[in-house]
Structure 1
Amino acid sequence: MSGKTDCKDLNKLTHAINLWSIERNLHLQDPTKQALKSLEELGELAKALLKNDREELIDAVGDTYVTLVILCQQLGIEMSDCVNAAYNEIKDRRGKIVDGTFVKEVAG
């Protein structure tokens, strides 16, 4: 995969990321180091938010996604399974916004 692409299909992009990772032998590397790379990208995301830098924000979100896709690949799990599980966990969740953050309602 070389050159710029404007593909908007997340499944196709995820597949392309996986192929890119295999071409560079990243798929066989230590997932702990990949998790640290994801944290590094999240730090860049926080920095972009603080600076209100939209271009850097877009880059950081994308880079974070790429690192997480590769982490899933290294762990032998599908990113779509992770997102599906997370959505199924939150889809019926109720709660309220407190100081700009969603706080889930405690069942009981």
Structure 2
Amino acid sequence: MDQLIKQVEQWSIDKGLDKGNGFTQYAKSSEEMGEVAAALCRNDIDELRDGIGDVIVTLVILAQQNGMSLQECLEQAYGEIKDRTGVMSKDGSFIKQADL
């Protein structure tokens, strides 16, 4: 995974995306999330796999544009959720205790 992230970061540098606009990159991430939703609706596992990969690529670049790494973002998020308690809703969504 580390090697793949480094390759994406280098690709971003080679294309000049590392110096791009963060909001534009955020919009690209949102667009890719739409493709994930479409794949889920169509039950298309290959497109879902591609879409998830595309989302990760856009997030690697967004983090890079803001002087962060995907790992440090994930570590921060995990630090916030690791001890979170809550319940699973009927539709399969996790509801954190603070929102109950």
Q: TM-score, normalised by structure 1?
A: 0.88
- What is the root-mean-square deviation of aligned Cα atoms in Å? 1.0
Corresponding residue for residue 33 of structure 1? 24
SS of 2:95's equivalent in the other structure is strand
How far does the alpha carbon of each residue in 1:40-60 deviate from its partner, in whole angstroms, 9 at most, with x for none? 000000000000000000000
Counterpart of 2:95, as a letter, is: V
Corresponding residue for residue 94 of structure 2? 102
Corresponding residue for residue 91 of structure 1? 82
- 1:78 matched to 2:69? The reply is yes
Q: How many residues align?
A: 98
Residue ranges of structure 2 left out of the alignment (5+ in a row):
none
Moved over 6 A (4+): none
Q: Identity of aligned pairs, percent? A: 45
Instruction: Give the C-alpha shift of residue 61 in structure 1.
Output: 0.1
Q: TM-score, normalised by structure 2?
A: 0.95
How far does the alpha carbon of each residue in 1:15-44 deviate from its partner, in whole angstroms, 9 at most, with x for none? 110000011111111111000000000000
Instruction: Give the C-alpha shift of residue 11 in structure 1.
Output: 1.0
**What does 1:26-65 align with in structure 2 at a 5 Å threshold?**
26-65=17-56
SS of 1:103's equivalent in the other structure is strand
Residue ranges of structure 1 left out of the alignment (5+ in a row):
1-9
Q: Distance in 2 between matches of 1:82 and 1:25?
A: 22
